[in-house]
């Protein structure tokens, strides 16, 4: 029993002595180095060089878009497309609307380019030029019928993600329209083009042109001018619509209706 008491007393003395010794060490370190061992040290944050973060601005803030419904955005996009069709068709339907506009001019069909080269080498360049001119005259005549066909396609189109289209590229709505309606536009527009080819005499001139080529070369070349001119005319209208859409997106003065101002103002 006495041994246990002595052992416990010795243990307490040892703990007390260690505590006193630790206090002495802490005091000495603090006086010599200024480091307080009672307070845990904070990890040092590595130094970083000052940099400037550059962010690419978006076309619209979420706040501005938040004030618009999907229905409003869709209406604004359709309004821009309808204006593009109206203005585009008006310009293309003029004499030389296709022929003198390099962006939409209808050239010799690719598989018939050799006819152009051959005829010119034989001194029949005028015939080749007349053939190209009449293709464009047919397009200029037929395109007047395009407006109601395009307008119907626009008004009946359901824009799945109007917000993303609004904030996308300058001709995103036009591309969306083309993807969704190209086939139905072709079907509705082809009879108009066929009538115009006959009206301006393009079909007769081309039969003569191809016949002369086949006679001189001994070949038998044919092509479906109706399909070719229909496709090229529709593509010409889409190019004009894309140009109008880009203008409305980037030029506030071109937003001539309240819905255009509201929708495209939000994407500025």
pLDDT tier for residue 30 given thresholds of 50, 70 and 90: low
Asked if residue 188 has pLDDT above 70, the reply is yes
Q: What is the Cα–Cα distance from 69 to 81, expressed in whole angstroms?
A: 19
Q: Domain map of the chain by residue range?
A: 62-266
CA-based angle 154:227:84, to the nearest 5? 25
Specify the 3-state DSSP secondary structure of 54: coil
What confidence tens digit (pLDDT) does each residue in 53-98 have? 333 334 444 447 778 999 999 999 999 999 999 999 999 999 999 9
Asked if residue 231 has pLDDT above 90, the reply is yes
The pLDDT value given to residue 183: 93
Q: Average pLDDT for residues 144-173, to the nearest whole number?
A: 93
Distance of CA 84 to the CA centre of its chain: 16
Question: The whole model's pTM is what?
Answer: 0.73
What confidence tens digit (pLDDT) does each residue in 199-221 have? 999 999 988 888 888 888 888 87
The pLDDT value given to residue 39: 54
Nearest residue to 142 (alpha-carbon basis) of 205, 82, 207, 98: 98
- Counting Cα atoms < 13 Å in the Cβ hemisphere of 13 gives 6
């Amino acid at each position: 029993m006495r041994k246990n008491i002595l052992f416990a007393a010795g243990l307490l003395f040892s703990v007390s002595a260690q505590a006193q010794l630790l206090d002495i060490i802490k005091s000495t370190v603090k006086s010599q180095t200024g480091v307080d061992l009672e307070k845990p040290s904070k990890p040092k944050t590595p130094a970083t060089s000052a940099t400037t973060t550059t962010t690419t601005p978006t076309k619209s803030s979420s706040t501005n878009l938040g004030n618009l419904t999907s229905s409003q955005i869709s209406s604004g996009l359709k309004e821009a497309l309808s204006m593009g069709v109206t203005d585009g068709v008006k310009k293309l339907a003029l004499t030389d609307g296709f022929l003198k506009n390099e962006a939409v001019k209808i050239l010799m069909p690719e598989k018939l380019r050799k006819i152009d080269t051959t005829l010119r080498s034989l001194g029949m360049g005028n015939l080749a030029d007349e053939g190209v001119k009449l293709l464009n005259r047919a397009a200029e005549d037929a395109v007047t019928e395009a407006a109601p066909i395009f307008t119907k396609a626009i008004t009946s189109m359901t824009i799945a993600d109007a917000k993303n289209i609004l904030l996308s590229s300058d001709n995103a709505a036009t591309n969306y329209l083309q993807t969704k309606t190209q086939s139905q536009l072709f079907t509705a527009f082809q009879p108009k083009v066929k009538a115009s080819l006959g009206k301006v005499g393009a079909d007769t001139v081309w039969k003569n042109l191809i016949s002369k080529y086949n006679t001189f070369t001994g070949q038998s070349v044919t092509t479906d001018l109706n399909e070719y001119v229909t496709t090229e005319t529709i593509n010409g209208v889409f190019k004009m619509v894309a140009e109008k859409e880009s203008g409305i997106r980037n030029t506030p003065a071109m937003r001539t209706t309240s819905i255009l101002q509201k929708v495209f103002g939000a994407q500025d």
